[in-house]
């Protein structure tokens, strides 16, 4: 028993440490904490089953527990990966996503637990020897399938963020998957719980750091992140756009703060989805946004602003836009001042246009 604990001590240390971190986290949503706890508990259960199964291998004759424990190990890995996906997605996945994950599990689990009699996946002789059946690689195919599905969902979730964040998030999925493959190729398999625990810990650390950069209302990058990126991306930034939402006070005062929040979330989604390639959107104030463009020309930026205006015209909300290209020898601060000035000029033009429209409407009435 002591040897087993010592062999698994690094994994247990990570599990307990992550459980403690879950209780003191402030940025992580409660749903993500629940999914993380479920994944860790299943990992602990899988590790116990694996070590018990290893112990039964030393018996001279077959123990009835060995086929059962083997089936448990095979069944638990996809369930662990399912909760890993829930951590990534945060919100409840769609019915299609649930089916994509659960159908292979629902098909394979009965095969694992009946395989001792059907000999389809694997079986054990009375002398306690393992034999692979025609579906002996099914557990590995299911795990690889689930891991690839997680990677795809991971990419979709983070595609609205920058490449650096996407690469970091992908690493937490790809690295343990590569470790599983290496263990299978060079050692003929093994216990993957330590790899998956490390993956959860890495992902949790990444999400915690990532959430500290995110505005909780709009899910855009926040003011602090904007200033950090202004320094770290200074050489690649080719333009700065300043955006200010109009009439937020009106929605807050007349329809309530919930309506104001919905307005901000709608505007933020439009800016993020239509800011154009190379653009990153930040919420830097109550109704103020900044878009930093990297390796993007003026024609593309004008097209992106037109696209954002067009999408906003389909809603109840309007925004004022201003941008400035980075000229030779021009600092970021100068460009931001120029962009702000252009945005205020656009805001004044919008207000004047609205005033004239209201006057015309009154005259016609």
Lowest mean pLDDT among 63-72, 174-183, 336-345: 174-183
Each residue's pLDDT tens digit, 173-223: 777 778 877 877 777 666 777 777 887 888 777 777 777 888 988 989 999
Domain boundary among the residues 186, 211, 236 is at 211
Choose the weakest-confidence range: 75-84, 104-113, 146-155. Answer: 146-155
Sign of the CA dihedral with 180 first, then 183, 188, and 192 last: negative
Model pLDDT, residue 189: 66
For residues 145 and 153, give the distance between their C-alpha atoms in angstroms, rounded to a whole number. 12
Our count of domains for the chain comes to 2
Between 219 and 120, name the one with better pLDDT.
120
Alpha helices in the chain (DSSP H): 2-7, 9-24, 30-56, 65-89, 95-118, 138-158, 163-187, 193-211, 223-232, 248-255, 257-274, 298-312, 332-364
For the entire predicted model, the pTM comes to 0.70
What is the residue whose two structure tokens read 């992908």?
170
Do 241 and 332 lie in one domain? The reply is: yes
244 within a domain of the structure (yes/no): yes
**Which H or E run contains 240?**
strand 237-245
274 plus 336 within the same structural domain: yes
Full domain range(s) for residue 71? 2-211
The enclosing domain of 237 has a CATH number of 3.30.70.270
- Quote the pLDDT of residue 339: 94
Instruction: Assess contact for 269 and 346: CB atoms under 8 A.
Output: no
């Amino acid at each position: 028993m002591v040897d087993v604990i010592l062999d698994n001590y690094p994994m247990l240390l990570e599990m307990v440490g992550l459980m403690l971190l879950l209780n003191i986290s402030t940025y992580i949503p409660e749903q993500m904490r629940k999914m993380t706890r479920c994944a860790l508990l299943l990992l602990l259960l899988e590790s116990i089953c694996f070590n018990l199964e290893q112990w039964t291998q030393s018996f001279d004759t077959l123990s009835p527990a060995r086929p059962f424990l083997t089936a448990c190990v095979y069944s638990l890995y996809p369930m662990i990966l399912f909760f890993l996906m829930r951590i990534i997605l945060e919100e409840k996945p769609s019915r299609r996503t649930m089916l994509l994950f659960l159908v292979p599990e629902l098909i394979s689990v009965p095969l694992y637990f009946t395989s001792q009699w059907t000999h389809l996946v694997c079986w054990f002789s009375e002398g306690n020897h393992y034999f692979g059946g025609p579906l002996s690689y099914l557990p590995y195919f299911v795990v690889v399938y689930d891991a690839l599905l997680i990677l795809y969902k991971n990419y979709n979730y983070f595609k609205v963020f920058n490449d650096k964040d996407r690469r970091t998030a992908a690493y937490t999925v790809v690295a343990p998957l590569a470790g599983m493959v290496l263990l299978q190729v060079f050692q003929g398999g093994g216990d993957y719980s330590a790899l998956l625990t490390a993956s959860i810990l890495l992902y949790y650390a990444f999400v915690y750091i990532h959430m500290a950069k995110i505005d909780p209302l709009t899910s855009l990058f926040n003011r602090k992140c904007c200033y950090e990126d202004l320094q770290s991306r200074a050489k690649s930034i080719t333009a700065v756009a300043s955006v200010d939402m109009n009439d937020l006070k009106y929605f807050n005062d007349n329809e309530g703060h919930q309506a104001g929040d919905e307005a901000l979330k709608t505007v933020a989604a439009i800016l993020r989805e239509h800011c154009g390639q190379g653009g990153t959107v930040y919420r830097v104030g109550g109704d103020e946004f900044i878009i930093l463009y990297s390796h993007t020309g003026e024609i593309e930026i004008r097209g992106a602003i037109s696209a954002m205006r067009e999408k906003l015209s389909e809603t109840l909300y309007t925004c004022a836009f201003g941008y400035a290209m980075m000229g030779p020898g021009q600092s970021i601060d100068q460009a931001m001042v120029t962009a702000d000035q252009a945005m205020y000029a656009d805001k004044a033009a919008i207000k004047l246009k609205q005033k004239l429209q209201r006057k015309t409407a009154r005259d016609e009435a």
